[in-house]
Structure 1
Amino acid sequence: MCSVPLPRRALAGLALAAAAPRLTRAAAAATSLRSTEWEMRTPAGIRHRIQLGWPDALPPAGGYPAMLLLDGQTTYPMAQAVAQPPSGQEPPRDLEAALLVGLTYPEDAFDSGLGVDSRTRDYTLPGPSAPPGAGGVEAFLDFIENHLLPELASRFPLNPDRLALFGHSYGGLCALHAFFTRPALFGTTIAASPSIWWQQGVLLKEEQRFVAALPPGTSRRHLLITVGAREQRSEAELAAMEPRRRERAQSSNMVGRAAAMAERLAGLGAGAPQLEFVSFAGEDHGSVISPAMRRALRFALGR
């Protein structure tokens, strides 16, 4: 697997956050201050709120693994509750110690000012009928690769070969786009309930290009695709809907699209990524986030 060339610094004496104290190795292992946040701006002036949690355990020789969590206002506290319990509580023995990184927005920046919310701007692909202000995923991934990851590496020893990305819904769309177009960026990708339907399935063209020329090391990359079984309506439910709503539900085809993509990628033979597909029984688009997160943590960080 290719890696992102990031600088590393020793943990001793690192500034854990812009306004956080400098901690010795001994203090870092004992402190309960293991979470902070700060704001970063892109070169274009887009504002992001970064949430960072770190484990009690000292980093391994190669640096900490890191898991980046899109929609961090929801996903970061979920992940931290499982993987980084408060000091004094036993950490989960089945998970490696890792950095958890939530990506979200300052409260006054959730509206992009471009006609869509900020997450739609950042997580979606361009398309012929995309709403104004959408389709900014490339600029967003540039920010992660060229600004956020070096900033994280300046704060903690970071293993560039152990980076994971989690996204749900539009975030899952973003995660799959990164998987297909930036193979050197994340060794592990988790796409929960991905919006493959976006812009009449424009992501499928990226999949086709990816499959036609598999990047070196694809067989060593890890991909988890999850979905809630209740995200796809039954025939009886569809029949009871008014026509316009029924058409939208049939077009999104959340379970079918996700399962079909997983099946295609798993069928690539020796060049296929290390892939899992999970459909969570009884879960819908909102309720599935929690079980998807638990599965994602064990997929990315399981011992």
Structure 2
Amino acid sequence: MFNLRIAILFCLCAMLPLRVLAAELNSTKSFELPHTHKVAITSPSGIAYELVISLPASYKNSPNKRYPILYYTDAQWDAPLLSSIYQDLAFDKAVPELVMVGITYSGVKPNYTALRTKDLTPTKDENFVSDSGGGEAFLTFIKETIIPKVESEYRIDTRQRTIAGWSFGGLFALYAMYSEPELFTRCIAVSPAIPWDNQYISQLDDEFFKANSKFSARLFISYGSNEAPAFVASVSKFQNKIKNRKSTNLQLMNYGVENMAHAGAKASAYAQGLVWVWKDIQP
């Protein structure tokens, strides 16, 4: 009996640290990005979206200041990444203070892959994915709903808009710049899906510059050196075509991230891209 009591007492004592740890975990607050909040918004077609809005540290105490703005896709993945990169670059005074608006989806367990494939592709390519080609509608939603909402509620310098994205998001960023040149004069296209629909974006680029040879913008395009060789070749070819074009006011930075593949190249590319597109108005 004595041994049994000792054994029970030992088990109870051993469980105390676990109970304390569990209590600490339950009382721990979720990690939050600095100066960031979320806003729900619904498209005309009824799709539930979420805006991840990050304000600069000085926003609250600078009521007369207007800020450049970055709109980017895939906030479900890249909001923490871009927030961290921006904080570091702002500390180094490598970029101006700016507002960042990430666009993602809300609702119960959204299918990010299916939703982003439809929204971020400008044309329907049935050889790749049947549910695609919603880029035009998504861009209209950004132009007519998201931008008016954001820029009526926050102090934005409307002359300084940047559109950014990775992969399909990079493809969409290029499409948005060509389709709405008055809306976006800065663009970051990280590992853009140039091969999409027989390189549709390259055809759009040709058509655009025939009609807009003096178009003025700052454009950053990147890829990872360890991405699929055919993908790297398509992005590199697109980069060089723009680089070699004569009589244009487009300022271009081509960037290759060494020893990184499709997703791993994002961090370095976004850091370089943010510095490049804002280089003319650095603090």
TM-score normalized by the length of structure 1: 0.75
Is the contact made by 1:120 and 1:134 (CA closer than 8 Å) also made in structure 2?
yes
Q: 1:117 aligns with which of 92, 95, 114?
A: 114
Moved more, 69-78 or 189-198: 69-78
- Aligned residue for 1:171? 169
d(CA) in 1 for partners of 2:133, 2:45: 15
| Identity, % of aligned positions | 24
Evaluate the alpha carbon distance shift between residue 144 and residue 215 of structure 1 in structure 2; reply closer, same or farther with a 3 A threshold. farther
d(CA) in 1 for partners of 2:150, 2:213: 26
d(CA) in 2 for partners of 1:272, 1:263: 16
d(CA) in 2 for partners of 1:81, 1:128: 35
d(CA) in 1 for partners of 2:102, 2:140: 17
CA offset digits 1:216-237 (Å, max 9, x no partner) = 5x1x30110000000134xxxx
d(CA) in 2 for partners of 1:230, 1:272: 31
From the two aligned structures, give the one with the greater helix fraction.
2
Letter in 1 for 2:243: A
Is the contact made by 2:117 and 2:132 (CA closer than 8 Å) also made in structure 1?
yes
d(CA) in 2 for partners of 1:210, 1:61: 37
Contiguous gaps of at least 5 residues in structure 2:
1-32
Evaluate the alpha carbon distance shift between residue 161 and residue 202 of structure 1 in structure 2; reply closer, same or farther with a 3 A threshold. same
Deviation at 1:269, TM superposition (A): 2.1
Query: Aligned with 1:161: secondary structure?
Result: strand
Letter in 1 for 2:222: T
Query: Aligned with 2:91: secondary structure?
Result: coil
d(CA) in 2 for partners of 1:60, 1:210: 39
- Aligned residue for 2:138? 140
TM-score normalized by the length of structure 2: 0.79
- Aligned residue for 2:26? none
Asked whether 1:95 is paired with 2:92, we answer no
- Aligned residue for 1:265? 242
Letter in 2 for 1:184: E
Structure number with the bigger relative contact order (C-alpha 8 A, sep ≥ 6) is: 1
d(CA) in 1 for partners of 2:267, 2:151: 28
Evaluate the alpha carbon distance shift between residue 205 and residue 45 of structure 1 in structure 2; reply closer, same or farther with a 3 A threshold. same
Q: 1:78 aligns with which of 54, 78, 81?
A: 81
Query: Aligned with 2:38: secondary structure?
Result: strand
Evaluate the alpha carbon distance shift between residue 170 and residue 159 of structure 1 in structure 2; reply closer, same or farther with a 3 A threshold. same
Deviation at 1:215, TM superposition (A): 5.8
Evaluate the alpha carbon distance shift between residue 156 and residue 178 of structure 1 in structure 2; reply closer, same or farther with a 3 A threshold. same
- Aligned residue for 2:227? 231
Evaluate the alpha carbon distance shift between residue 182 and residue 95 of structure 1 in structure 2; reply closer, same or farther with a 3 A threshold. same
d(CA) in 2 for partners of 1:294, 1:105: 24
Evaluate the alpha carbon distance shift between residue 275 and residue 189 of structure 1 in structure 2; reply closer, same or farther with a 3 A threshold. same
Moved more, 190-199 or 76-85: 76-85
CA-based RMSD of the aligned residues comes to 2.2
Query: Aligned with 2:268: secondary structure?
Result: helix
Is the contact made by 1:35 and 1:54 (CA closer than 8 Å) also made in structure 2?
yes
Is the contact made by 1:190 and 1:225 (CA closer than 8 Å) also made in structure 2?
yes
d(CA) in 2 for partners of 1:137, 1:170: 10
1:53-64 maps to which residues of 2 (within 5 A)? 53-58=54-59, 63-64=66-67
Query: Aligned with 2:158: secondary structure?
Result: strand
- Aligned residue for 1:156? 154
Evaluate the alpha carbon distance shift between residue 215 and residue 145 of structure 1 in structure 2; reply closer, same or farther with a 3 A threshold. farther
d(CA) in 1 for partners of 2:85, 2:75: 15
Deviation at 1:183, TM superposition (A): 0.9
- Aligned residue for 2:16? none
Evaluate the alpha carbon distance shift between residue 45 and residue 295 of structure 1 in structure 2; reply closer, same or farther with a 3 A threshold. same
- Aligned residue for 1:280? 257
d(CA) in 1 for partners of 2:205, 2:161: 21
| Greater gyration radius | 2
- Aligned residue for 1:126? 123
CA offset digits 1:35-91 (Å, max 9, x no partner) = 100111111111111000101224696721011121112222111112237xxxx83
